[in-house]
Amino acid sequence: MLKISAMYTDQYQLAMAQVYFKSNQKNHRAIFDYYFRDLPFQGGYAVFAGLEDFLKIISELKFSPSDLEYLQEQGFEKDFLEFLKDFRFTGNINSCMEGDLVFPNRPILQVEATLIEAQIIETILLNLLNFQTLIATKASRIRLVAGDATLLDFGLRRAQALGGYYASRAAMIGGFNGTSNVIAGKDFGIPVSGTMAHSFVQSFDNEIDAFRSFAQASAENCVLLVDTYNTLKSGIPNAILIAREMESKGKKLLAIRLDSGDLSYLAKESRKMLDEAGLHYVKIAASNQLDEFVIKSLLEQQAPIDIFGVGTNLVTGNPDAALDGVYKLSFSAGKPRIKISESIVKVTLPHKKQVFRIKTKDGKCVGADAIGLYHENRIEEMFHPFEPYKSMRLNTFEQEPLLKPVMMNGKITIPLRSLAEIANYSMERLAQLPIEYKRFNNPHIYKIGISQTLQNGRDHLITDIKKRLK
Amino acid sequence: MLKISAMYTDQYQLAMAQVYFKSNQKNHRAIFDYYFRDLPFQGGYAVFAGLEDFLKIISELKFSPSDLEYLQEQGFEKDFLEFLKDFRFTGNINSCMEGDLVFPNRPILQVEATLIEAQIIETILLNLLNFQTLIATKASRIRLVAGDATLLDFGLRRAQALGGYYASRAAMIGGFNGTSNVIAGKDFGIPVSGTMAHSFVQSFDNEIDAFRSFAQASAENCVLLVDTYNTLKSGIPNAILIAREMESKGKKLLAIRLDSGDLSYLAKESRKMLDEAGLHYVKIAASNQLDEFVIKSLLEQQAPIDIFGVGTNLVTGNPDAALDGVYKLSFSAGKPRIKISESIVKVTLPHKKQVFRIKTKDGKCVGADAIGLYHENRIEEMFHPFEPYKSMRLNTFEQEPLLKPVMMNGKITIPLRSLAEIANYSMERLAQLPIEYKRFNNPHIYKIGISQTLQNGRDHLITDIKKRLK
């Protein structure tokens, strides 16, 4: 596993921590909210991912002797460095679960810790959760259109350097079946698979020799890449020959792979040729610049493709470079805190909070979350502050609290799940979401409201700041 | 430093390697070309980066005992695993230097090794070089418009997970001055810097208390974030008070930072207020969704900004998710190899090659590279195969060979340079490039031609394949 130290942070976190350390704020406790402001891909939902990696990393986070030496050269002071030597994250975290559907402008996770501890983990929190949530959401969109097709992550070579490591994990949470990424396979237990490269075919004097060598060495999983020279004139006829040779040895060719040209046309022609040769069981895999839109189009054209290998557009979340997740102070030193802004939607929500997902009695999402203070057990009425004022009586609905304790005093308090379990959980959550939120164009907006108590507390703080600014 | 093992690869590399191992191709040597097909950002050039990291990693690449155990569970065979146990990369590499300007469809780097070794390193090569080249190019574009302003990388929190590590390095090669990323500072010797977060200001009861505490703890580098409540009514007046308090102690406020609102307007108003207070030396830093276009526009509006902090758009290369670098076989088992395609520009170039940059006697780029066989010392005439046929006599020009030996038998053969040296080198290279290639809209296309000998060799192979396909 790639090792991340406490140095994986922004310089200002340490600069601020040193000021806190030297001030009376050294032991002040704070609450920070993690949330994002815009859904990626102009979609209707996001799939939360990255939590377990984040928790594991911060539960073991520390500064090494060489880290401290470096920080000393950077001018940090002796007593602060002495403090960092024993630094551990000892705070509490409440969070949505990995695989939960999440929406803008409501807390996905809350950190409760000393100001110093909460700042030092900010960068790694944003870095891991923003990215995995982006990729799990992309993967989920691809799964939505792909039906039962097998989806494989082929993206490592085009990933943003080591980002490929976590991208493969997040893709599984969003609904992929496997990856080509061997280290992710090893570390996260993801099924790994792959076929052959064009160079393999080229390195033999003839395509048929390349296919034959590969088939002899393969067990159950032989996939032949048919487009090195000419898919329909050479690749498919040679693959058919090899499939027959394999049959004579009691083996079966798993699939052929198309990696260029018009995938819809080539898949149909290839299917016809394979079927005419009696090879109905040989599957068709396709790759080359795929994303949710291309796959949707291919399947609408009834291209007989069984396996999609998705690369760049999956692991980089193209066209969205990043989820715009932020980490905002909502409470410190015993007082609620707020940040105001020229833009009303950027005003933060003070206090320790809970997010309730409003559902019908049979468990369907009604398209609204309500935010209250953490100790509010139920919310009676919900206010929408970010749109023309309206309110909604909630007493006929179920209210599911989304933020659950996942870390107490720096120790993980939830059972860790396998990736398959998280992916299944996410599928269940997605099934509760009405289809209007899943469409790609102008999806329905998942509403947000706040409780009367939170509303009052917030108004009070805003009035107070405005008074001081006059 | 983040440790990368030989498992950071695609499954098919190992599957192909096993077939080679069991066939007569076990010791066959091959040459692979690394190049890309499209310039990122619709720009006129790219800045090559990532080479030293790549060389260091492959010079130490191996499979650990637990890696081999995992591969055994995955069904790889005993004798092949035994072979992997002692696997080291022992090949040769010729390459452009980091900081060189590179263009599409001509080799940037060539790997010469056994087929097995060359395949196993493919994924890590593409992963590291594609990404760092993308980010160095983005950084270079930002430097082009930013003039002498200080450019800081603030992107780690929005980076694609661990991609932030190498993004900070590549940004320096493209012309940035520093980073907020502490681990990149430590591992790559990049100057680190940072200011404060909004949460820091919020955690105090008053903005002025927050500023005062920060100023007391800061040495020469105090930057105050002025937009938590109201930039012009509160932030700047408080910063002026603190600057005066600092002066009375013989210290100087370095800068104020704007992170929201209309940066051009706020910078001008802030400058006015600071100047009226006699604080001409206090600089203005700006951040918030910056990229080359926003910075260009700000400077065209004569916004008096001295320091730009660039985040997401820098470290993710937004809007381009990836450089489309590929790795293609050009020679194996004593024979030149080619891949043909429906698209003429995707036909590969066979043989071991050299790329010559054509320059005037005084060292200016004339806008064309010529590709010849590796042993060709000079190219007399250059043919453009990818556009309406024309040729160019080269005897009046200088010809600079770009591919130099950087690794022999698995050992690095070039002196490693500091990032500052690489960045300076890149600036020199950029100065040789005419301005038409640097503009953002429809830049001039950097031509490519091939020598008569290479042209003949390629035509011969194409004819040969077409004959076999009939």
d(CA B36, CA B348): 12
CB-nearest to B160 from A10, A163, A342 is: A163
Is A342 a residue whose pLDDT tops 70?
no
Closest CA to A172 of A142, A127, A129, A130: A142
pLDDT tens for residues A298-312? 999 999 999 999 999
The model's pLDDT over B10-23, given as tens digits with 9 standing for 90+, comes to 999 999 999 999 98
- C-beta atoms surrounding B1 within 10 Å: 12
Burial class (CB in 10 A: 0-12, 13-18, 19+), A11: buried
Q: How confident is the model at residue B223 (pLDDT cuts 50, 70, 90)?
A: very high
Asked if the Cβ–Cβ distance from A158 to B186 is below 8 Å, we say no
At residue A394, the pLDDT reads 82
CB contact under 8 A, A70 and B185: yes
Asked if A344 has any chain B CB less than 8 Å from its own CB, the reply is no
CATH of domain A139-315: 3.20.20.70
- Taking CB atoms and an 8 Å limit, are B161 and A154 in contact across chains? no
Contact: B186, A7; criterion CB under 8 Å: yes
Question: Given an 8 Å threshold on Cβ–Cβ distance, is B186 in contact with A70?
Answer: yes
Number of Cβ within a 10 Å radius of residue B393: 9
- What is the percentage of chain B residues whose pLDDT exceeds 90? 83
How far are the Cα atoms of A112, B48, B102, B138 from residue B433, in angstroms, in the given order? 53, 15, 11, 17
- Interchain CB distance below 8 Å, A321 and B319: yes
Distance between CA B136 and CA B175 in Å, rounded? 8
User: Which of A11, A126, A201, A212 has the most B C-beta neighbours within 10 Å, making it the best mutation to test the interface with B?
Assistant: A11
What residue segments make up the domains of chain A, in order of their start?
139-315
Q: Are strands A178-179 and A150-153 parallel, antiparallel or unpaired?
A: parallel
Q: What is residue B388's predicted lDDT score, i.e. its pLDDT?
A: 44
* Partner residue opposite A197 with nearest CB, options B16, B132, B182: B16
pLDDT tens digits along B118-129: 999 999 999 999
Residue of B19, B132, B166 lying closest to A217 (CB–CB): B19
pLDDT at B356 over 90: yes
Q: In this complex, do B337 and A203 lie within 8 Å of one another by their Cβ atoms? A: yes
Residue B221 has a pLDDT of: 86
Measure in Å the smallest separation between the Cα of B196 and chain A Cα atoms. 6
Q: Which of residues 186-205 of B touch A (CB under 8 A)?
A: 186, 192-200, 202-205
Tell me whether residues B12 and A196 touch, CB distance under 8 A: yes
Q: What are phi and psi of A426, to 5 degrees?
A: -65, -40
Which burial class, exposed, middle or buried, applies to B400 when counting CB atoms under 10 A from its CB (0-12, 13-18, 19+)?
A: middle
pLDDT band at A388; cut points 50, 70, 90: very low
Per-residue pLDDT, A174: 97
* Interface predicted TM-score (ipTM) of this complex, two decimals: 0.94
Instruction: Report pLDDT for A385.
Output: 54
Tens digits of per-residue pLDDT, B35-81? 999 999 999 999 999 999 999 999 999 999 999 999 999 999 999 99
> Are residues B217 and A18, on separate chains, in Cβ contact within 8 Å?
yes
Tokens of B260: 């929201």
State residue A389's pLDDT score.
Answer: 47
Q: How far apart are CA A277 and CA A147, in angstroms?
A: 27
- pLDDT tens for residues A63-85? 999 999 999 999 999 999 999 99
Task: Check CB contact of B310 with chain A, cutoff 8 Å.
Answer: no
Q: Does domain B136-315 have CATH number 3.20.20.70?
A: yes
Residue of chain A whose Cα is closest to the Cα of B63 = A183
Q: Which of chain B's residues have a Cβ under 8 Å away from the Cβ of A113?
A: none
Contacts of A418 (CB under 8 A, 6+ apart): A189
- Closest Cα in chain B to A63: B183
pLDDT at A2 exceeding the cut of 70 = no
- Per-residue confidence at B313, pLDDT binned at 50, 70, 90? very high
* Among A422-426, B372-376, B445-449, the range of highest mean pLDDT: A422-426
Q: Is the pLDDT of residue B257 over 50?
A: yes
Whether residue B2 is predicted with pLDDT greater than 70 in this model: the reply is no
Q: Quick check: B40 contacting A, CB < 8 Å?
A: no
For the cut 80, the answer to whether the pLDDT of residue B219 exceeds it is no
Q: pLDDT confidence of A339, banded at 50, 70, 90?
A: confident
